[in-house]
Structure 1
Amino acid sequence: MISVRPAKPDEWQTYRDLRLRALLDSPDAFGSAHEAEATRSDAMWSSRVAETTSSAKDRLLLAFDHDTACGLIWCRLSDDEPAAAHLFQMWVDPATRGMGAGRALLHEAVSWAESVGARSVHLGVTAADTPAMRLYLACGFQPDGAAQPLREHSALMAQPMSLTLGTAAR
């Protein structure tokens, strides 16, 4: 059974472990690289989660398969455009893919964005016919602008996508 909830301040190790597994499992899906994040100190990971869980502008959501953490998504209200929210770091463990964790994470992220007054949600996804791209399209996200390099020195492209709230197929 899949459940999703906000991370707690003391769950920084769970977040760290999921994030590092995500970067190893799906290096072509993220703007950051495992090598860069693996060197971060425990204090940095702890601080990152503590700041997020006390912020009104951020929401870190974790997915669980029963009691085992199996996915994450980070949501943030835009500093430049308060009515816009951005989604980052979406990932589901390969062992639980196909069980609805991705859709559940996305649903909770979009619901949170709506609850804090966002009128649109934005994300970037590697430009390819992937399960992630198909999920975002199925949930109402649409391409929004030209693809851009995923990260410096990468041939991969990231497609910006957006969702006008109230139109999601959730």
Structure 2
Amino acid sequence: MHAETTVEPRPAIRAGRVPDDVEHCAGIWVRALAARDGSVDAETMAERVREAFDAPIVRFAVATSPRAGFALVESGRSDPGEAYLHYLAVDPDGTGRGVGGALLADAVAHARAAGFGSLTLEVRSENTRAIALYLRAGFVPDGEATPHPSAGYPMQPYRLALG
């Protein structure tokens, strides 16, 4: 007898719609932070996500299956050749299923296609799961960790050369 294996379907990713998908994604961000940190100021965190959509958007991607998630890539940084991965989150019930990796690959592909020379991000220094994902994708640390502007915990910048 052969053991049956379950194959998880590839994550389905589509372009996000502003403003239709913004509240859904703000909720994902709040749930992801609460799962990671234990508790969060939900309204403040959701408002930060909403405000991010005021920046020039390179790519807003929404994962719809097998789990929900989103990524937001912005331009308008001090270096015009640099895109910034401002948000990448997967609903806490869906981690470990490839959704984060698929969203990251989508972000990289769209930043590259838009002609950016690099994609940067900042991640909480203790977020080993996210850091492992970024390292597997080829990101490298880029400078020293700096305190998060409101929470104070260390945020490590990472960069991926796209050229």
TM range (shorter): 0.7 to 0.9
Which residue number in structure 2 is paired with residue 3 of structure 1? 12
CA 1:79 to 1:128, structure 2 compared with 1: closer, same or farther past 3 Å? closer
Contact 1:71 1:93 in 2 (8 A): yes
Q: Which structure has the greater CA radius of gyration?
A: 2
CA 1:33 to 1:120, structure 2 compared with 1: closer, same or farther past 3 Å? farther
Shift of 1:23: 3.3
Q: Quote the Cα distance in structure 2 between the aligned partners of 1:136 and 1:4.
A: 19
Identity of aligned residues (%): 30
Which residue number in structure 2 is paired with residue 127 of structure 1? 125
Which residue number in structure 2 is paired with residue 34 of structure 1? 42
Name the count of aligned residue pairs: 151
Shift of 1:60: 1.5
Shift of 1:34: 2.8
Cα deviations across residues 57-114 of structure 1 (Å, max 9, x unaligned)?
A: 4322111224x6x111110113422211000121112221111001100000011101
Which residue number in structure 1 is paired with residue 107 of structure 2? 109
> Which deviates more from structure 2 when the two are superposed, residues 134-143 or residues 70-79?
70-79
User: Could you say what secondary structure the match of 1:80 adopts?
Assistant: coil
Q: Quote the Cα distance in structure 2 between the aligned partners of 1:84 and 1:33.
A: 30
User: Could you say what secondary structure the match of 2:21 adopts?
Assistant: helix
Shift of 1:5: 1.7
Q: Quote the Cα distance in structure 2 between the aligned partners of 1:13 and 1:158.
A: 25
The root-mean-square deviation of aligned C-alpha atoms, in Å, is: 2.7
Q: Normalized against structure 2, the TM-score is what?
A: 0.78
User: Could you say what secondary structure the match of 1:82 adopts?
Assistant: coil
Contact 1:120 1:164 in 2 (8 A): yes
Contact 1:27 1:34 in 2 (8 A): no
Unaligned runs of 5+ residues in structure 2 are 1-8
Q: Normalized against structure 1, the TM-score is what?
A: 0.75
User: Could you say what secondary structure the match of 1:108 adopts?
Assistant: helix
Q: Quote the Cα distance in structure 2 between the aligned partners of 1:84 and 1:14.
A: 27
